Amino acid sequence: MYRLLRKDFIERIINPAFLDSAILFFLFLIVFLVSLIYYFLYTKKNRHRLRMSVKKSFELWISKAILEEYDDESESAFHIPEKFLKHFKSPEKRAYAVDELVNSKKNLTGSAAENIVKLYDQLQFKKYSLKKFNDNRWYIKAKGIQELYIMDQADTLTKIYKHTNSSNEFVRMEAQTGVIHFSGFEGLRFLELLSYPMTEWQQIKLLEQLRSKTLIELKRLPIWLKSANDSVVIFALKLTDEFQQYHVHDEVVSCLKHQNEEVRIAAVKALKRIANEESAEIIAAGYVGETEKVKLLILRSLNMLADDKQIPFFLKALDESDDTLKLNAARTLVSTTNEGLNILEKRAKIQPDPFRSIFLHVKAESGL
């Protein structure tokens, strides 16, 4: 039965009529595929060529416009060539133009930057940025927010502000950056509403951005330092550290007892920066029961703050089982107290291992 079926099948496929049809079918298939590939490459090349031609002429015109200087405000409208108005009806070319304007605005200040914004306004690109801003896709929304704040569209601040606690990380980041762009330190009020975490990268970016803004006293800082959102507390401590906010000394001290280790680390760093005469004692008091990471940081921070009053603390720290902590305690003891080196030498005689080598190492380091 099987042999019969097989024989029948073989006879059918070597039938000339069947072979002709199969060849014809595959020929058509190949022609179709080649045409499809050709069409795809042709349209792609065409699009690229068009883009390049618009790019060249647009760049030349726009760079001339950026460099224009107007003495009279009434003359400040740019002459926009008809061909560009036509070009900008195409979403692709318009997107290219907006991207170029946004990139240049990021890199320039002064009259050139003002001219870029004027051009953006005059070309009515704002409505397209707003369209992106209202889009539900996060990457388009984030881009829309970025365009609006880079182009100084301050009237959109309230709308942007609402997204500072967006569930999407990137939308949230752009919205927070936008609010700081418009309002500087005042814009930090979004920290009170923030329920999502702030990434370390976002914190670095915002601190960098704030450095160029006019510093004001951060009256809301005590609230942020008590936030239920740990990342907000960490950021508030970084603000305290970076901008030396002495008025929150007590709140920073409270953070030393926070359950989150990262908060305690940021608190030690901040307290070191805004220290008063009590800070060394407070930092040292928090040492017992800390993790090794925080202990190490405390010992290093005390290098700038401790004095003879902390000798009993250092003596206890020298009893640590961890050699790195022992060495750092010895270092700080020697560098901050008058009798540090003598104390360490006596200890080395009583307990040569490991204090003999620690003593010699610290002595060599300190050059005493």
Q: Could you tell me the smallest distance in angstroms from the CB atom of residue 204 to another protein?
A: 8
Instruction: Work out whether 208 is an interface residue with another protein (CB under 8 A).
Output: yes
**Piece of 56-64, 153-161, 191-199, 268-276 that binds another protein (CB under 8 A):** 56-64
Closest to another protein by CB, 112 vs 311, is: 112
Sequence-distant (6+) residues with CB within 8 A of 92 are 47, 51
Residue count at the site for another protein (CB under 8 A)? 23
Question: Rule CB under 8 A: is residue 64 a binding residue for another protein?
Answer: yes
134, 138, 144, 149: CA torsion to nearest 10: 110
> Considering the complex, what minimum distance in angstroms separates the CB of residue 176 from another protein?
17
The CB-of-320 to another protein minimum distance in angstroms stands at 35
Residue 173's alpha-carbon distances to 90, 125, 192, 201, in angstroms, are 30, 23, 15, 10
The least distance separating another protein from the CB of residue 167, rounded to whole angstroms, comes to: 29
Q: Provide the angle, in degrees to the nearest 10, between the axes of the packed helices 200-211 and 230-242.
A: 30
Q: Would you count residue 135 as binding another protein (CB under 8 A)?
A: no
- φ, ψ for residue 110, nearest 5 deg: 75, -155
- CA dihedral defined by 286, 292, 294, 297, rounded to 10 degrees? 110
Taking the C-alpha atoms of residue 160 and residue 154, their distance in angstroms, rounded to an integer, is 10
Query: Binding pattern to another protein, positions 101-120, x when CB under 8 A?
Result: x-xx-xxxxxxxx-------
Establish if 214 lies at the interface with another protein (CB under 8 A).
no
**59 scored as a contact of another protein (CB under 8 A):** yes
CA triplet 124, 129, 134: central angle to 5 degrees? 130
160 binds another protein (CB under 8 A): no
Min dist CB 109 to another protein, Å, is 5
Residue with tokens 């040292």: 284
Looking at the Cβ atoms of 241 and 251, the one nearer to another protein is: 241
The residue (of 102 and 256) whose beta carbon lies closer to another protein is: 102
Considering the complex, what minimum distance in angstroms separates the CB of residue 108 from another protein?
5
Residue among 112, 110, 113, 121 at smallest CA distance from 77: 121
Q: How far apart are CA 347 and CA 359, in angstroms?
A: 9
> What residues make contact with another protein under the rule CB under 8 A?
55, 59-60, 62-64, 66-67, 100-101, 103-104, 106-113, 208, 211-212
